[in-house]
């Protein structure tokens, strides 16, 4: 619901007048599908940055799990120029993530 409301509110402004974050908070779904659904709900073709939540020593295996290919999906989005400004943003756990995915 929040993504739809944000999308409606932001339609009144030029896309280059704001930064729009996306976020992943669960490993129980296909991240590529969710990413595209989020874009559609927000009514945009890209996010300016994307937040990866709950990264710490005990959860990094979720991000490494080949069933979800979370990191592979984000690399593909970056290759396709999504998010618009490819960045890694973290609520916490940057050091754990960077150790698991150097460069």
Question: For residue 76, which of 65, 86, 64 has the smallest C-alpha distance?
Answer: 86
Cα–Cα dist 17/102, whole Å: 32
Three-state DSSP at 21 gives strand
Residue 86: band (very low, low, confident or very high) from pLDDT cuts 50, 70, 90: very low
Split at pLDDT 50, 70, 90, the class of 74 is confident
Q: Is the model more confident about 19 or about 24?
A: 19
Average of per-residue pLDDT across 38-55: 83
DSSP per position, 86-103: --EEESS-HHHHHHHS--
Please, are residues 41 and 4 in contact by the beta-carbon 8 Å criterion? yes
pLDDT for res 14 = 93
How many Å apart are CA 48 and CA 22, to the nearest integer? 8
pTM, full prediction: 0.69
Looking at residues 19-35, what average pLDDT do you find?
75
Across 30-49, average pLDDT:
85
Helices and strands (H and E) in the chain: how many: 5, 3
- Mean predicted lDDT score pLDDT of the chain: 76
């Amino acid at each position: 619901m929040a993504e739809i409301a944000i999308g409606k509110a932001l339609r009144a402004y030029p896309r280059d007048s704001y930064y729009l974050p996306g976020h992943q908070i669960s490993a129980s779904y296909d991240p590529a599908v969710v990413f595209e659904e989020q874009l559609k709900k927000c009514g945009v073709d890209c996010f300016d940055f994307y937040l990866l939540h709950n990264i710490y020593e005990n959860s990094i295996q979720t991000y490494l799990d080949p069933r979800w290919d979370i990191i592979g999906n984000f690399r593909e989005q970056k290759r396709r120029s999504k998010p618009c400004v490819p960045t890694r943003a973290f609520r916490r756990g940057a050091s754990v993530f960077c150790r698991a995915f150097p460069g």
